[in-house]
A and B are shown apart, each in its own frame.
Chain A
Amino acid sequence: MVNVTAETGSQQEKTINMSPFAIARRKFLRNKLAMISTFFLFAIIIVSFLAPYITTQDIAKVNIGSMSLEPGGEHFLGTDKSGRDVFTRLLYGGRVSLLVGISCTALVILFGTLIGSMAGYYGGIVDSVLMRFTDFILNFPFLVFVIVLNTILFGLVSGLWVLIGVISLLYWGGVARIVRSKILAEKENEYILAAVSIGCKPSKVIIKHLLPNVLSTIIVQATILFASLLVIESALGFLGIGVPQTIPSWGNMLSSSQEADVLRNKPWIWMPPAIILTVTILAINFIGEGLKDAFNPKSNR
C-alpha cells in the first residue's frame, strides 16, 4: 500500500486533476481557427442584439425619396427598393436570424435529447414507441408542413415564435436518433451497472451518468444544427414563408434578389446579408470542428 502512494506521488504534475471537460476546454482554447471563429460569432451576436443602440434608422419605414440608393453617404450600405437602410436592416436582421437559430437549436436539442435518452436507456417497448414516433415526425415533408402550420398558427402567436415553434417541432428527430444510438453504446459500460447498484434512480442514471458522457456528441451536433437552422431560416425567408416581411431577417432580405434587376444591377441590396450569412455559418462550422477535435481523446492538437 505504501508503494501505491509513492507511485501517485511521482506522477504529480501541475496539469493533472482535470476532468475530461477541462481537457477539452484547454484543447479548444489552443485551436486558433476555432477561437477566431468564436470571437467572430460572439461579435456578430453582440452587434446584432445591440442594434437599437448602434443605428437610429427606422427599419420598417418606407421612404420613397431614397429608394435603391448606392452605398455611401448617409446610408453606409445603401438602401433597398423601399428606401430602407440596408445596414440597419442587416443588424436587425441578424437579431432575428440568430434568435431563430439559437432558440430552435436549444429546443431541438432539448427535445431530441429527452426523447433519445429515454428511448436508449429504457429500451424495449418505450424505445419502440418513441422511435416509431420519431420516424413519423421525420417522415413529414418539412417544407409543406412549415407552410401549413405557419398559416394555421399565424395570428394566434407572434409571427417569429410561430416559426421557431414549427421548425423545432419538425426538426428534433435526427438529434433523438443520434442521442439514442450514443446512449445505447454508453449504457453497456459497467459504470452504468455500478450507478444502478449504488442506488441511483433511472432519472439520475440518465442525467448524471449517461448524458455527461454523450454531451460531447450533443454539443458538436448543436453547432451543426445551429448552422443548418440559419440556412433553413434564410431559405424560408427567401421563399417568403419564414419570418413575416415586416420584421427584417437575413433570409427575407435575400428574397429581394428574386428580382432580376436587383440581382444584376443592385448587388448592395442582397450581397451584405448573403456574405454575413455565409461567414457566420462558416464560423459556426469551424467552431463545431474545433469542438469535435477537442472532445476527441485521440487528437492532441
Chain B
Amino acid sequence: MNITAASKGTQPKPIVEKETLLDIRNLKTYYPVKGGFLKRTIGHVKAVDDISFEIKKGETLGLVGESGCGKSTTGRTILRLLKPTDGQILFEGKDITAISGTELRRARQDFQMVFQDPYASLNPTQSVGDIISEPIRNYKKISKKELKSEVLDLLSRVGLPAEAYDKYGHEFSGGQRQRIGIARALALKPKLIIADEPVSALDVSVQSQVLNLLKELQDEFDLTYLFIAHDLSVVKHMSDRIGVMYLGNMVEIATNDSLYEEPLHPYTQALISAIPEADPKKRKKRIILEGDVPSPQNPPSGCPFHTRCPMAKEECSQIKPALKEVKPGHHVACILY
C-alpha cells in the first residue's frame, strides 16, 4: 500500500490491484414463518445463511444455483430492499447494513437493480419517459428540457428509438421492456448493478442481444455487476468470477475458467455436468443428484449438501465446512479439500 501511495506522485496511472466495491461479510437473511393461533414466529426460512464474498470494481460476479437457493434474496438484501438478519454489507468501505430513511435513499444512487420479469417491473400507468426520468427526478432538480435530453440519450444507449419516450410499457416486447428497465437502472449512473436473472424471461434469440448490451454498457459506464442467473452458459458468458450457491450457502467461488475447467465442489461438478453439449457424438458423464433440496426452514446439520452428495462421508453431517482458498482465487466449502 505504501509503495503504491508513494508512486502515485510520479506515475499518473499506477498499476494497483482493483479496489473492492462491495464487501459482504457473514450475511444472513431469514424470513420469519408465522403460524398458530396468535401468528407467532414459529421458525425461519434461512434464505441466505451466512455468506461472504466481495466484488472488485469493474468486475462481474456471477451467482448461480437452483431455484430457491437464495440468489435473488442475496441480491435484494444487498440493495437493502430486504432487511438483513445479520452480517455486514460494505459498499466502498461504508457500512450500509443498518442505515435507513434519507441516508439509505441517498446511498441508493450508487446501486441499482435490473429485474427478472420485464412485464412486472414496469409500472403500467407510466410512460417510458416517465419511468426512465423518475430516478433522476428523485435526486436532482434539473430543467424539463435537460431531463428529456438525458432520457433520450439513455434510450439510444440501450438501443431504443426516441419515439419510445411517449409510449407505454405494454406496447413493447419482452426484450424491449428489459431495455427500458436497464435504462432506468442506468439513469442515476450507478456504480453497481445487480442483475437478477435479467434474461431468464426472454427468448433465447433476444437473450444474447440483452446480454451483449449489458456488456457494452459495462465498458461504457464503468459498471460493476452482480449477475444472478440459473443458466450456466449465460453466467459463463457474462462473468469474471462465479459464485455457486446451495441452500442459502456459498459452496464455491472461483474465476470463470477455473470453475468450468476444474469444479471442485461435488455440487458444482454435478451442475456443470448438466450443461447440454451441442455435439451429439460427445458423451460425457452426467452426475445425477438424488433426492430433493432440503427445506431451507430446516436445513440439514453440517454441510448443507451432505444429504445429496455422492461423496459424502460420515463427518459431513457434523462439520459445516467454511469457504477456504484451495488454489489462488478458487474458494470452496467442502471437507474434501
Asked if chains A and B come from one complex, the reply is: yes
Q: B-contacting residues of A (Cβ < 8 Å)?
A: 1, 4-5, 7-9, 11-12, 16-21, 189-191, 193-201, 204, 209, 212-213
Partner of A16, one of B81, B105, B160, B167: B167
Determine if A191 and B120 form an interchain contact, defined as CB atoms under 8 angstroms apart. Answer: yes
Partner of A212, one of B125, B179, B188: B125
Residues of B within 8 A of A196 (CB): 81
Main secondary structure of the interface of B (DSSP, over half): mixed
User: When A and B form their complex, what is the total count of cross-chain residue pairs whose Cβ atoms lie within 8 Å?
Assistant: 96
Check A194/B168 contact, CB under 8 A, given A12-B163, A213-B123.
no
Check A198/B184 contact, CB under 8 A, given A5-B161, A19-B168.
yes
Determine if B81 and A20 form an interchain contact, defined as CB atoms under 8 angstroms apart. Answer: no
**In the complex, B295 has a CB within 8 A of chain A:** no
Chain A nearest CB from B269 CB (Å) reads: 33
Determine if B123 and A11 form an interchain contact, defined as CB atoms under 8 angstroms apart. Answer: no
Count of chain B residues with Cβ under 8 Å from any Cβ of A?
Answer: 44
Q: How far is the CA of A190 from the CA of B185 in the complex (A)?
A: 13
Q: How far is the CA of A1 from the CA of B139 in the complex (A)?
A: 30
Contacting A at CB under 8 A, from B123-177, are 123-125, 127, 134-135, 138-139, 159-161, 163-164, 166-168, 170-173, 175-176
Determine if B125 and A19 form an interchain contact, defined as CB atoms under 8 angstroms apart. Answer: yes
Chain A nearest CB from B12 CB (Å) reads: 35
Q: How far is the CA of A198 from the CA of B188 in the complex (A)?
A: 8
Contact segment of B50-58, B109-117, B278-286: B109-117
Residues of B within 8 A of A213 (CB): 123-125
Q: Across the interface, name the chain B residue whose C-beta is closest to A22.
A: B168
Determine if A198 and B135 form an interchain contact, defined as CB atoms under 8 angstroms apart. Answer: yes
Determine if A190 and B171 form an interchain contact, defined as CB atoms under 8 angstroms apart. Answer: no
Residues of B within 8 A of A209 (CB): 123
Q: How far is the CA of A196 from the CA of B82 in the complex (A)?
A: 11
**In the complex, B94 has a CB within 8 A of chain A:** no
Q: A-contacting residues of B (Cβ < 8 Å)?
A: 76, 79, 81, 105, 108-109, 111-113, 115-117, 120-125, 127, 134-135, 138-139, 159-161, 163-164, 166-168, 170-173, 175-176, 179, 181, 184, 187-188, 209, 213
Determine if A189 and B135 form an interchain contact, defined as CB atoms under 8 angstroms apart. Answer: no
Residues of B within 8 A of A18 (CB): 168
Determine if B188 and A193 form an interchain contact, defined as CB atoms under 8 angstroms apart. Answer: no
Nearest 10 pairs of A and B residues by beta carbon? A1-B159, A198-B135, A190-B121, A212-B125, A199-B138, A190-B115, A191-B123, A190-B120, A189-B120, A5-B161
Determine if A20 and B170 form an interchain contact, defined as CB atoms under 8 angstroms apart. Answer: yes
Main secondary structure of the interface of A (DSSP, over half): helix
Q: How far is the CA of A199 from the CA of B209 in the complex (A)?
A: 29
Q: Across the interface, name the chain A residue whose C-beta is closest to B124.
A: A20
Determine if A8 and B184 form an interchain contact, defined as CB atoms under 8 angstroms apart. Answer: no
Q: How far is the CA of A18 from the CA of B170 in the complex (A)?
A: 10
Determine if B105 and A199 form an interchain contact, defined as CB atoms under 8 angstroms apart. Answer: yes
Q: How far is the CA of A200 from the CA of B137 in the complex (A)?
A: 10
Determine if A199 and B139 form an interchain contact, defined as CB atoms under 8 angstroms apart. Answer: yes
Q: With A4-B209, A8-B163, A212-B123 given, can you name 20 additional A-B contacts, CB distance below 8 Å?
A: A1-B213, A4-B159, A5-B159, A5-B161, A8-B164, A12-B163, A16-B167, A17-B171, A20-B170, A21-B125, A190-B121, A191-B123, A193-B76, A193-B81, A194-B121, A196-B81, A199-B105, A199-B108, A200-B138, A209-B123
Partner of A198, one of B117, B134, B159, B213: B134
Chain A nearest CB from B233 CB (Å) reads: 23
Determine if A20 and B125 form an interchain contact, defined as CB atoms under 8 angstroms apart. Answer: yes
Q: Across the interface, name the chain A residue whose C-beta is closest to B116.
A: A190
Q: How far is the CA of A16 from the CA of B127 in the complex (A)?
A: 12
Residues of B within 8 A of A195 (CB): 123, 134
Residues of A within 8 A of B135 (CB): 198-199
Q: How far is the CA of A18 from the CA of B124 in the complex (A)?
A: 11
Q: Across the interface, name the chain A residue whose C-beta is closest to B82.
A: A193
Determine if B168 and A201 form an interchain contact, defined as CB atoms under 8 angstroms apart. Answer: no
- What are 11 A-B residue pairs whose CB atoms fall within 8 Å in the complex? A1-B159, A5-B159, A7-B173, A17-B171, A189-B121, A191-B123, A194-B113, A194-B184, A198-B112, A199-B108, A209-B123
Chain B nearest CB from A66 CB (Å) reads: 58
Residues of A within 8 A of B167 (CB): 16-17
Chain B nearest CB from A160 CB (Å) reads: 37
Check A197/B163 contact, CB under 8 A, given A20-B168, A191-B120, A209-B123.
no
Q: How far is the CA of A215 from the CA of B139 in the complex (A)?
A: 27
Chain B nearest CB from A178 CB (Å) reads: 19
Q: Across the interface, name the chain B residue whose C-beta is closest to A209.
A: B123
Check A19/B115 contact, CB under 8 A, given A8-B164, A196-B81, A198-B138.
no
Q: How far is the CA of A149 from the CA of B123 in the complex (A)?
A: 44
Residues of B within 8 A of A12 (CB): 163
Check A11/B171 contact, CB under 8 A, given A189-B120, A197-B112.
yes
Q: How far is the CA of A209 from the CA of B115 in the complex (A)?
A: 17
Q: Across the interface, name the chain B residue whose C-beta is closest to A19.
A: B168
Most buried by B among A9, A195, A197: A197
Determine if B81 and A200 form an interchain contact, defined as CB atoms under 8 angstroms apart. Answer: no
Residues of A within 8 A of B79 (CB): 197
Chain A nearest CB from B232 CB (Å) reads: 24
Residues of B within 8 A of A197 (CB): 79, 81, 108, 111-113
